[in-house]
Chains A and B, each alone.
Chain A
Amino acid sequence: DAKTTQPNSMESNEEEPVHLPCNHSTISGTDYIHWYRQLPSQGPEYVIHGLTSNVNNRMASLAIAEDRKSSTLILHRATLRDAAVYYCILRLSTSGSEKLVFGKGTKLTVNP
């Protein structure tokens, strides 16, 4: 599976936007980009996913570079409840693969 690279940690202030970067220079044309987050002492939860175009949902936005070698998860207004580890994951969209490969993620700290 293609690999992703994320910063180990980031800090933000409450009510400010947060941009979480992810590099995936070995991505192939059929790899989807996923983001999950894991709140303390909980299981991961799905945030957003995309292939080529930017995506928005109620939780966040996903901005994908034109060459698809990087992407950015955008939290428009961080709250204290957004403090979590954020995982950027690639998944093959073909060959029946149903596996997600998690890296170490980025630990986001939100300051009041």
Chain B
Amino acid sequence: NAGVTQTPKFQVLKTGQSMTLQCAQDMNHNSMYWYRQDPGMGLRLIYYSASEGTTDKGEVPNGYNVSRLNKREFSLRLESAAPSQTSVYFCASTFRGRSYEQYFGPGTRLTVT
């Protein structure tokens, strides 16, 4: 099993550009999450999806949209990137009801200039 995979690993955007971060898991998990981690900080939840077809806002949703494409895939879209969105983005997944044990992907390092 590959676990949780994220693409791309690195990305540089100019202010105002858009992009979609992709996340997929092959563990048959119900719930998926997007976090961001700024330098020297802990992770902050952007959006989560408790099950296929549902999404909810986390702590810092402004400037982002998400799509739970199917059970395996959960994408994060930046419509108009801003320098404040420079961060490392992590996707995670778990079985519903077992959110204490989330499995994280390797992260996408995004720089917005």
Contact partner, A104, options B42, B50, B58, B107, Cβ 8 Å: B42
Which residues on A sit within 8 Å (CB–CB) of B104? 42-45
Interface residues on B, range: 20 to 34
- Number of A-B residue pairs, CB cutoff 8 Å, is 53
User: Which residues of A (78-110) have their CB < 8 Å from a CB of B?
Assistant: 87, 91, 96, 98-105
20 examples of A-B residue contacts, CB within 8 angstroms: A34-B100, A42-B104, A42-B107, A43-B90, A43-B92, A43-B104, A43-B107, A44-B90, A45-B103, A49-B101, A91-B100, A98-B48, A98-B50, A98-B96, A98-B99, A99-B58, A101-B45, A102-B42, A103-B42, A104-B41
B interface list, Cβ under 8 A from A: 4, 31, 35, 40-45, 48, 50, 58-59, 90, 92, 96, 99-107
Nearest 6 CB-CB pairings of A with B: A43-B104, A102-B42, A98-B99, A102-B43, A46-B101, A49-B100
